[in-house]
Amino acid sequence: MNAESNTRRLLIAGGGTGGHLFPALAIAEEFLARSEKNRVLFVNAGRPLDHKILDGRGMPHQTITVSGLKGMGFFHKIKVMGGFPLAVKKAADILRSFRPHVLLSVGGYSAAPAALAAKMMGIPVIIHEQNRLPGLTTRLLSPMAAEVHVSFPGTPLKTAGKKIRLTGNPVRRELVACRKKRRKTGDSLNLLILGGSQGARGLNRAVCKALPMLKGLPIRVVHQTGSADFEEVSQHYHGLGMKAEIIPFIEDMVSCYAGADLVLSRAGATTVAELAAAGLGAIFIPFPHAADNHQYHNAKAMAEAGAAVIFEEDRRTSELLVATLSACAEDPDTTEKMAGAALGLSRPDAAETLTSAIMAHMSGV
């Protein structure tokens, strides 16, 4: 028997941001764990983040030269469209070489040409959409997909019809219910601030503006600032004589989630999924310049369940932060109810469910 006859191969197309890549990695790892004969290949647009993350996890990957259309000028769009056939041809060459049984699109520039090539070659296409408001790639590709797996109930995607599956957004298994302790009356509020993500300078500055009014409250702070804002944010804390753990980047996010009572952050899809999995309520300040304001819609799903509050980034943000954090510091029941609501939204089996759906399309292998 041919040694390749029962080898299942999955090509994952997309990337460019952690929000696309981290769920894809969770799926890839689950797929590889199902059989030592399974194989995975990532195809992306070659951004430095793609190389860093995938190389760090030891995942094989190839590059398609392609860029996005949204928010770009007319001539740039013409250039991108002119290069699209070459991107499809490159994708087809990769598909012929790797011979995947299924292509999984996770969004990002490279997903469209790869999925189109797969469809033309008779390879089943499955889509995973991380955000509550579907991205352009998902909207374009959903009519040709065998299945479209979404992360939030009520995701508006009419073009997918009956192919929609509510799966959730895969996260690392060690995050699931990692917050074991419960805050009691008299306990300080352990606040985790995630200001190190893309576009989080506005969040960091809103926090710094609020610090003088938060001084003296029973709040213990861990503040991830990002490397660009580390010095500026540190100076604000030290200038006020406020003790806090201020770090550019958190390596051990699981421990930080486990020790927190409340999180203040942007509302990227991965962050929202991780908070639900960990069982943590949040104050969200969505990145106002995110495509189609998708971070607001992600945050809204948590807020509607009672797991979060949302503040827009404007001149009143600091004032609202002070009022909300003061109330949360006084009343542990507030944050514990939010935490319980967040955990109720968790779909810890998302990676397993999606992997099983992928492998169902490989049943003849």
Helix (H) or strand (E) holding 51: helix 48-56
Give yes or no for a contact between 345 and 278, defined as CB atoms under 8 angstroms apart: no
> 17 among the known binding-site residues?
yes
The CA distance from 233 to 280, in Å, is 24
Going by C-alpha positions, the residue among 293, 286, 271 that lies closest to residue 342 is: 271
> 19 among the known binding-site residues?
yes
> 131 among the known binding-site residues?
yes
> 18 among the known binding-site residues?
yes
The DSSP output letter for 141 is: H
Residue 205 makes CB contacts below 8 A (sequence gap 6+) with none
Residue 20 makes CB contacts below 8 A (sequence gap 6+) with 14, 106, 107, 108, 130
What's the 3-state SS for 29-40?
A: HHHHHHCCCCEE
The encoded tokens of residue 64 equal 């398609």
Burial class (CB in 10 A: 0-12, 13-18, 19+), 213: middle
Residue 193 makes CB contacts below 8 A (sequence gap 6+) with 203, 207, 221, 222, 223, 224, 263, 264, 265
The CA distance from 37 to 32, in Å, is 8
The DSSP output letter for 238 is: H
Q: What are the binding residues? A: 17-19, 131, 172, 197, 250, 295
Q: Would you list which residues are annotated within the binding site for UDP-N-acetyl-alpha-D-glucosamine?
A: 17-19, 131, 172, 197, 250, 295
